[in-house]
Amino acid sequence: MIGRRPLLAAGAGVLFARSRARAATPLRIGVLTDESGPYADIGGAGSVTAARLAVEDAQAPAGTVEILHADTQNKPDIAAAIAARWYDEEGVGAIVDLPVTPVALAVLNVARERGRTVMITAAATSDITAKYCTPVLTHWADDTHALTAGTARAVTDGGARRWFFITVDHTFGLALQRDASAVIRERGGEVLGAVRHPIGATDYAPYLVQAQSARPEAIGLASVGGDLVNLIKQAAEFGLLSPTGPRFVAFLTYISDIHALGLHTTGGLTFASGFYWDQNETARSFAKRFFSERKVMPTKNHAAIYTAVRRYLEAARRPDATPLAVARALREGSFDFLGRPARIREDGRVLYDLTLYRVKSPSESRYPWDYYEPLAVIPADQAFLPPNPACRG
C-alpha cells in the first residue's frame, strides 16, 4: 500500500522549542522503506518501530511528532512520487530509510529540489556523498567503501594476504571487488584471481571449486542479497566454511541474513558492521525494546534510523528550525550512536568506527542471537572515503 499511514508518537517531558503557531502542526517524519519485498527484513515494519522508539526517547510531547510510512515497492518513480507528495502536501520535514541505490537517489533528487531533509540509512553506495552531496543530505549506512576497503584492510592486516573473489556480474558487485582489491594490494596482499557469476545463479559449485583451487587465504564474496545467501549456503554444504579453510569474507551482510541461514551455515563468515545489538549496554537496551515489539533483533539499518531520527528531532527543536538551519544543526558536534561516538562531516557523511566480526559456531553461541565475535575495530578514517572538496554543508 502506498498511501499515507501516520502514527502519532506519544511521549512526555521536554517541550520542543517551537512557536505557538508551529506547535499546532505536528513535526512529520516519513519512513520510506520496503514493506513487502526482499528488503523488508532489514527495514520494513522494523524501520517504523525504530523511528517511533526514537520519538519516545526524544521525549516529544504527545501529538507533536507524527511518523508516516509507505512502501517504495523498490521502484524509484513510486518512491519519488511519495516523497514529493509528503514534502509538498503533507508537511513532512524529513524522510529516512530508502533501500537500494536507485530509490535513494530518486528521493535525494526530490529532497534537493525542495530543500528538505533526507537521511539515507539503507542504500549503501559511497557515491551518495562522493558525487551527490547536498546540504539537506546525511548518509548513515555503512557505505560500500567502508564495507569493502575497511574490511579488506582489516582482514589483510590480520594475516589473510592471498585473496580470491567470487563476484556477481553487475556494476555493484564489480565495484565491491575493485575497491577491496585496491586496498589488498596497497597493504601488500595479493589478488590471485576472480570469477563472476550471473545475477540469480542457482549453482555456485563451479565458482567455489575455482576459488578453492587457487588456494587463497581469503575468499571475498562480492555478491549481495539472494545471490550472497545462496552462495553462503552452498559454501557451507561443501564444508568450505570451516576453521581450517580459507576465510570467507562478505561485504554487505545483515543480522537478519545470519538468523535466517543459521549458525550451522554461516559460522566462520567474516564481515564488518557499524552496529551489532550486543556491542555494548546502550545497544542492548535499544535492542531489548525493539525485540519486545518485533520479536527479532534490530538490523544496522534499524539502528541508524533510530539514531538519525533522534538527531533530527534535536536539530528541529530550535526556534529557527528552517530546513537549512536543521541541516546545519545536524552537522554540529558529536553525538551518541548507540554507545559509540559519531559525527557528521560537512558533505553529509556520518562517521563512526566499524567492527570486523566473525560469525560464531553453534557451540560458541551462549544465548539467543549471540552470533558475532568481534575481531578488530576499523577506525572511521580508515573506513570512509575522504570528503569531497566540492561539498560544503
Question: Could you tell me if 53 and 286 are in contact, meaning their C-beta atoms sit under 8 angstroms apart?
Answer: yes
What is the C-alpha to C-alpha distance for residues 308 and 338, in angstroms, rounded to an integer? Answer: 11
Q: Looking at the chain, list the stretches that DSSP marks H as alpha helix, in order from N- to C-terminal side.
A: 20-23, 44-57, 76-89, 101-114, 127-130, 144-145, 151-157, 171-186, 205-213, 225-237, 255-261, 263-266, 281-294, 300-315, 323-330, 380-383
pLDDT of residue 7: 55
Phi, psi of 138 (to 5 degrees): -130, 140
Q: Does pTM top 0.85 for this prediction?
A: yes
Number of Cβ atoms within 10 Å of the Cβ of 280: 12
Q: Tell me, what's the pLDDT at 170?
A: 84
CA distance 346 to 387: 8
Contact by Cβ (8 Å): 66, 29 = yes
CA–CA distance, 13 with 55 (Å, rounded to integer)? 12
pLDDT at 6: 57
Q: Length of the chain, please?
A: 393
Long-range CB contacts (< 8 A, 24+ apart) of 314-322? Answer: 314/58, 316/16, 316/27, 316/93, 317/16, 317/17, 317/18, 318/17, 319/17, 319/18, 319/19, 321/18
Which grid coordinates belong to 24?
499546532
Q: List b or e across 146-182, with b for residues whose CB sees 16 or more CB atoms inside 10 angstroms.
A: bbbbbbbbbbbbeebbbbbbbbbeeebbbbbbebbbe
- In this structure, how many other beta carbons lie within 10 angstroms of the beta carbon of residue 101? 19
Question: What single string gives the DSSP state of each residue in 221-255?
Answer: EE--HHHHHHHHHHHHHTT-SSTTSPEEEESS--H
Tell me the mean pLDDT per 10 residues along the chain, length 393. 48 35 75 93 97 93 91 97 97 95 96 96 93 94 91 93 95 88 95 95 95 97 90 93 90 94 95 97 98 98 98 88 88 96 96 97 97 96 90 63
Residue 281: phi and psi, rounded to 5, are -65, -35
Handedness of CA 228, 231, 233, 236 (dihedral sign): negative
Alpha-carbon gap, residue 40 to 388, rounded angstroms:
32
Q: How many other CB atoms are there within 10 angstroms of residue 334's CB atom? A: 11
Domains in the chain, start-ordered, CATH in brackets?
Answer: 5-142+279-351 (3.40.50.2300), 145-273+354-383 (3.40.50.2300)
